[in-house]
Structure 1
Amino acid sequence: MPIGVERLKKRSDFLRVASVRRKWAAPGLVLQAACVPADQNDGRVRVGFTVTKKVGNSVVRNRVKRRLRAVAQNLIPGNAVPGWDYVLIGRHTTIKRDFKDLQTDLLTALNKVTLTQNKKNRSQS
């Protein structure tokens, strides 16, 4: 991942992002997002990837994660809000979905999950 984007690796981070309940489901992926607490916020974007066993065996799950990492590497640095954590969840359709459609899904999801936060920031200014 490029500079400024780190990986989520700890289970506690994944659970914290899921507990915020800010998510968007697209045909190719599900995106969960959470703002980093103020005391830990250093302006970086962190991204985690997960795929359940329902999607397939380990070969299929790893392929789905590779596709999600590729999409995230292309789009997260320029489109994500600094100081946020994101979790990309693979779906059954991720493996067969066209790469351009996956990119569109991620861009739409990024806009939707951070839209209300951006509106709050604009109203406070």
Structure 2
Amino acid sequence: MKHEKIRKNGEFQVVYRRGRSFANHLLVLYVFKNRRNQIQGVPYNRIGISVSKKVGKSVVRSRVKRLISESYRLNKEVFDTGYDFVIIARVSSHDKSYAEIEKSLMHVFKKAGLKNDEKNTVTIN
């Protein structure tokens, strides 16, 4: 949904400066607890995705962004709520499949302690 995206540079900067970072070989995750992310008292997450020009040309960067956002969308029920996330794709992610990106995303969220294992996950083979 529209309110779940981080778009402004200032919002990215807040997450970079005040958040914590977790990384693996494909992704870097910045996490910032945001108490303002609530609709009628129910907390929700916001996500921003950043892919550097070092990853590749615009077609490749867009593909990586789509893979990350789709794997987040299909698994967002398993993540804790009330946070701002910024996900940065590393150069090595340019030629990876959806399954590899999803596995990497789940790993970095588990590393951050934000993944609830009791909820069902959706995977596409």
Q: Is the 8 A contact 1:79 1:110 kept in 2?
A: no
- Report the counterpart of residue 110 of structure 1 in structure 2: 109
What is the TM-score when the length of structure 1 is the normalising length?
0.77
Instruction: Determine if the alignment matches structure 1 residue 90 to structure 2 residue 98.
Output: no
Q: What runs of 5+ residues in structure 2 fail to find an aligned partner? A: 115-125
Distance of aligned partners of 1:44 and 1:21 in 2 relative to their CA distance in 1, 3 Å threshold? closer
What is the TM-score when the length of structure 2 is the normalising length?
0.77
- Report the counterpart of residue 10 of structure 2 in structure 1: 12
Partner amino acid for 2:85? Y
- Measured after TM superposition, the shift of residue 33 of structure 1 is 0.7
Aligned length: 111
Partner amino acid for 2:45? V
Distance 1:110 1:46 in 2: 14
Partner amino acid for 2:100? D
Two-structure CA RMSD over aligned residues (Å) = 2.2
Identity of aligned residues (%): 31
Partner amino acid for 2:78? N
Q: What runs of 5+ residues in structure 1 fail to find an aligned partner? A: 116-125
